Every structure is written in structure tokens, then in C-alpha cells.
Amino acid sequence: MTTDITRILAIPFPLQGHINPFAQLCHRLSSKGIRVTFVTTVTVSETLQTITTESNNNFINVETVPDITIAETEGLDVYEIYTRSFRATITSGLSDIIEKHSNTESPFKAIVYDSIVPWVLDIASENGLKGAVLFTQSCSVCSIFYHIHKGNLEISHDEGSEVTLPGMPVMGFNDLPSYLYDKGSYSSLFRLLVEQFAMLEKADWLLFSTFDKLEDECTKLDAIQIPDPDNRADHPIHVHRQETTRKLRLWSKFLQAQNGILVRMARQKRRRIRNLRLIWKISRFIRKTNGGNSMGTNCYHSQLEILSHRAVGCFVTHGGWNSTLEALSLGVPMVVVPQWTDQPTNAMFVGEVWRTGVRCKKDGNGIVGRVEVKACVDSVMKGDDVRKNAEKWKGLAVEAVSEGGLS
């Protein structure tokens, strides 16, 4: 006998940039009385179990699959091995998790899955479940890869070339995601992002981590053909800069869960900025530098909690989509130093479309120097236009998540 309780599965790709939006979505769904089972690896689950215990959230529980194993395989890069291993461990374990709950009062009804693992939809269909796909990058970046998937876009390697797509501003060569002009270095990741649209028409819902007016033109049907124009994400954006609660601190631990780091800052870059007065967020925190001087104080506050503080006047960021969206929704101006993946595109939107910050320029060695960083920070801190635009977009974010809003 079934009850009126709705139970769903959530399956993010086990990296921080993917876990973050899944965490917020699951938190939102659980607040509406939906029971969420978060499926992840054993290592990631150690953090998630702490969260669900400390927060007394009986609507979220964690089920585990074996950890991803990475063994060298000739002809495959580490990202390809990682994704293949994740697919194998989810495929072998997910059906058992579904079966375990099938004869209970509240069997699973749907799976929310990461867009870069579209094969999860096959598992959902085999078990009679609905499928909702969550895209963890911006609609604009998704649109770029969607058109590549459809064969509508070919990228020229001429640095003076431009790209024009429906619902998008004109983009230069350096405004595009890095995978498009450096496919050789990240061929497996490029393939993942193109193939995420392979089963798009079969999904029951499409969820995007954005809000309506932020990417208004791009979210129209001529940019990405979605199966139902009413299928918009009920996705939370934190818009109140002074609300720093225990619940937020608990969920910040959730966002730290990851099973690998794909980008590292070069030693030369760290040396150039090591003496600046900053709040550092560094993996395996470096406690000492030359001469025994402390580099900083390890900080366990979440990025979101820090950005919410009124004392923060500028955010120097790599321009990942989660960080960009948090800063936009909190009205914090940005100085963007993009490294790879979707970050160059996000930086272009921050500097040229939304005008809520500036994008740092690299020198001839591909490094953003201290003079450039200082100039950009000064520009943001002393400029009225950027701050006014930041407040404007914060207001639109508040409007989007308020009663009657479209996000």
C-alpha cells in the first residue's frame, strides 16, 4: 500500500561544482515535504551523513555506491576513466536501491540526475520512474553545447572569429568555453558536455540553475528546444545578505563534498598574490611560506556565508557558474579571473552583458598579474555603475524567487 509521500532519487556527478546545485535543489524539495534519497559514493557520503544527522532533516537520506576507482588505462585520460568508473558503480548499485524501496509505503517516483550522466534516464525508464535532468551550467553555456550537438555550430580556431547564436550576444574566440578551442586537452570532458543532450527529448522535466530575467532570451524555445515550456526549475537562490544561520553553515559542509580537484593554481600565480589581504579558499591549505610567515588563517565558513556579509565589497572569482550565480543574487560585484571550462563565457556575461564586474586580462605568459588584479579591483570598488548593476540584478533575483516569481 502506497501513501501520499513523494520520494525521489537525486544523482549528481560527484564533483563539487555539481554537488552544490544538487544540494540546494534537494534542500528546497525537502522543505516542501518531498523525501529525497541522495545517491553518491562512500567517500562523499561521509560528509552528507553528517549533514542529515546534524540538521535533523528526516526528509533527506543518503544511499551509497562504491567509491570510484581510477586505474591507468592505455589511451584514456583520467577524466574518461573517472566517468566510466562512475557509470559502472551507479549502474550496478542503483537498481538495488530502487528495488529496496519498491515494496514500501513510499516507493521512488522519479530520479533527478545530472545532465552529464544522461544514461541514468535509461535506468529510470527500466524501473518505471520519471526523469528530471538538472543542468549545472548556465543556460547560455548549455545553448552553445546544444548547438554543437545538433551540428549547427562549428568553431573556428581563428582568434579573430566571432560566434552568433539565437538568444545570445556575439561572442569572440576567448569568450567561448575552453573545451571548444582546446579539445585535445579535454576531449573526454568536451564529449560529455556535447552528449548530455542525447536523451533530452525523453526527459520529463528540464531544470536549470538560473532565473528567468538573467538569461531571458536564451531560455526561449528557439535557443534550446525543451519538451514543455512550463517545466522550469523550482530552484533556490539565496538573496538575503544578512541571513547567516546554522542551517546555512550545515549545508556549507555539504557543498564541500567532492571526489577530486580538476584545476590547480600554478605556484607562480600563488607567489604573486600571497601577501595580499584576502580570505583564502585553498585545497590542502598552505600554512607557511618563505621566512615562516603565515599565509593566512584557515576558514571553515562557506563561500555563500562570506558573500552574504555586508562587509564584502568585491569578489575575486574564477567565474564558475555556482560562484557567479551566488554573487549575482547577493549583489556582490565581481572581478573574474577565468581559468577554463565555462568560466570564460561566464566572465564575458559578467563584464559585458550584466555589467556586474570586470574580467581580468592575461599577460603574454597567460597569467593575470598583480597590477591587472589591482586595477580591476580598484575599478570595481570605486566605480558606481558596476555597483548599481549588481544591486539591480540582486533585485531581479529577489523578484524571481518571491511569491509569483518564475524561478
Predicted pLDDT at 103:
82
Q: 33: which residues sit within 8 A by CB, 6+ positions away?
A: 5, 6, 59
Predicted pLDDT at 26:
87
The pLDDT tens digits of the residues spanning 270-328 come to 665 555 555 555 544 444 444 444 444 445 567 888 888 888 899 999 999 999 999 99
The architecture that CATH gives domain 7-256 is 3-Layer(aba) Sandwich (3.40)
Domains 7-256 and 267-401 are alike in CATH topology: yes
Query: Which segments of 32-108 does DSSP mark as H helices, in order?
Result: 42-54, 78-102
Predicted pLDDT at 49:
54
Helix (H, G, I), strand (E, B) or coil at 314: coil
Predicted pLDDT at 207:
92
Q: pTM here?
A: 0.80
Nearest to 315 by CA among 300, 303, 298: 303
Predicted pLDDT at 285:
45
Domain boundaries in the chain? 7-256, 267-401
C-alpha cell of 100?
Answer: 529496496
Residue 111 pairs in a beta bridge with 9, 131
Nearest to 354 by CA among 220, 213, 235: 213
CATH class of 267-401: alpha beta
Low-confidence ranges of the chain (pLDDT < 50): 1, 54-56, 221-264, 283-298
Predicted pLDDT at 403:
77
State the Cα–Cα distance between residues 321 and 393, nearest whole angstrom: 15
The pLDDT tens digits of the residues spanning 216-226 come to 877 764 444 44
Predicted pLDDT at 136:
94
State the Cα–Cα distance between residues 65 and 46, nearest whole angstrom: 12
